[in-house]
Chain A
Amino acid sequence: MAKRVEKYPEIVYRKHPNPLSPHPSPWVRQPGRHLPLFLLLVCLSCGIIAVDVRFGFSWVSQLSEVAASPVIFALDLIFKPVSNSASFFRETLSARTENEALKTQVEKLEYEVGQYQSAYHENIRLRNLLDLKAQVAPQAMAAEVLRYEDSAASRVMLLKGGVEDGFRKGQPVLGESGQLLGRIAQIHRNTSVVRLITDPSCRIGVTVERTRAQGILHSRDGRLYIRLDRTELVATGDRVLTSHLSNLYPKDLAIGAIGERAGPTASDPMVAVELGLMTGYRVEPVVPTERWKEYQEVLCLPNFTPPTGESDAAEP
């Protein structure tokens, strides 16, 4: 106690004061000792604010700006590297989140680009189809391809559009570049089945454009062949069109061009062929058959109703 008195001669140790004590410390008994100064400074501050708002203290600000500029410069020197480091850490920490967000965005954009590309290709296809429609028949109807079946037994195409949409049985169906694909063989309420010219059962009367030679187009394993009289002199690349004698197709629809001469295995076992009276040639379609499955829209020619009871197989 003596030491404490020496160290703090003006005060005397006592127990911790109880705030609710009836005998609080002298200091506590004078809580408002600085109240006048406090009120004075508050009033002064309010007065200065009022004067500043009304008249402004631009000269004070200018003076302070001059005084503060070296301090600001020094602080900038300190804070800039700290700020840069903080930014680096913040950016590193946020990189993962940002990466995830960017990945999602990239996926979304890829999907959108895919959509745009799809729309672009569709646009090109539809433009080609429109051009073809304008060239071939302005009243031709476009139809969406629902399914493409390419099996050994049958090669058909299912179209969206049936009786209710104005499609009729027997309508020839064209693809890109005016390639003859086949004709509507079955018609339903909302769909149509197109038997393709590559179907094994299909026989079409055709003409070689240059020589006007008449022949029969048939298919084997999805490839097209033409049977011609052996006396006909055709050359590779001669265009093959539908014949004017055909009663199932309008004349002069493009099928393809004469290719190489068919070997014995490629020829069909027709008696006339076997006897050497007819010759077979490959026909290279205008659009390769491998690409037919890529068709999404086709064109159905109007106003061609085949005679009742006729069939492709009966041609010519």
Chain B
Amino acid sequence: MRLLKLLTVALALGLFQGSLEISWSLGGVAPDILLLWVIWLGMKRQTGDALLVAFVGGLVLDSVAPFQPIGLSSLCKVVVAYLPEWAHYILLPENRATGWLVVGIGSLLQQILFLTTVQTLQPGTVWGRTALVETGLLLALNLLVWIPTSFFLSSVKESEFSV
């Protein structure tokens, strides 16, 4: 049942994110809500759930968003979904700044992976001024959404406790 709920959320989020990327008309790229959700799950130590949401949501996103190979967003988001696991291992104790850092690095990592893969699969030059601007914009938008949201998310206290 939990898995079904998780998959439904992933499908809905992927659909929403794909539609958002199509409808977004405020200039540049849209904030990546799916990615932020995945990171939030990771930060809550639900890395398994995060990986599944990233994979399924990414697939749906790819199928909705035009002109990109199906599976590309899944790949990028799965890699980012595992980032909090590494971050916990390498860095932390957690606090809110950890989340901000993970979102920043995750957004950059996703964009780099995405552009590199597209560059590999398709002819032409993807890297350039536009790619840099889009990356910067995505980073800024994701942080803009994440930072206020992080104050309302339930704190993750697990690191202060041990089993």
Contact = CB atoms under 8 A, between A and B. Distances in A.
Interface of A: 8, 10-14, 16-17, 19, 25-28, 31, 33-34, 37-38, 41-42, 44-49, 51-53, 57, 60-61, 63-65, 67-68, 71-72, 75-76, 78-80, 82-83, 86
A230 B43 CA distance: 121
A93 to B, nearest CB: 13
A52 B71 CA distance: 8
Interface of B: 15-16, 18-20, 22-27, 45, 47-48, 51-52, 54-55, 58-60, 63-64, 66, 69-72, 74-75, 78-79, 81-82, 85-86, 88-89, 91-93, 117, 121, 158-163
A45 B58 CA distance: 9
Contact of B71 (A31, A45, A65): A45
A14 B160 contact: yes
A313 B77 CA distance: 104
30 contacts: A8-B161, A11-B158, A11-B163, A13-B160, A16-B93, A17-B93, A17-B162, A19-B92, A27-B159, A28-B88, A31-B86, A31-B88, A34-B48, A34-B51, A41-B52, A42-B78, A45-B55, A48-B74, A49-B71, A49-B72, A60-B70, A61-B64, A63-B63, A64-B64, A68-B15, A71-B15, A71-B19, A76-B23, A80-B25, A82-B26
Contact of B70 (A26, A37, A49, A65): A49
B69 A42 contact: no
Contacts of A79: 23-26
B19 A75 contact: yes
B121 A49 contact: yes
Contact of B19 (A26, A41, A44, A72): A72
Contacts of B85: 31, 34
Contacts of B79: 42
Given A46-B71, A49-B117, A64 B18 contact: yes
Contacts of B19: 68, 71-72, 75
A19 B121 CA distance: 40
Question: Which secondary structure characterizes the binding site on chain B?
Answer: helix
B43 to A, nearest CB: 13
Nearest to B20: A75
Contacts of B70: 48-49, 52, 57, 60-61
Nearest to B47: A34
A68 B18 contact: yes
A260 to B, nearest CB: 78
A16 B86 contact: no
Name the residue in A41, A42, A86 with the highest tally of chain B Cβ atoms < 10 Å from its Cβ: A41
A48 B162 CA distance: 40
Name the residue in B19, B27, B66, B69 with the highest tally of chain A Cβ atoms < 10 Å from its Cβ: B19
Contact of B23 (A8, A10, A75): A75
> What are the 5 A-B residue pairs with the smallest beta carbon separation, nearest first?
A48-B71, A45-B75, A75-B23, A11-B161, A64-B63
Given A34-B51, A64-B63, A45 B161 contact: no
B48 A37 contact: yes
B78 A31 contact: no
Name the residue in B54, B86, B160 with the highest tally of chain A Cβ atoms < 10 Å from its Cβ: B160
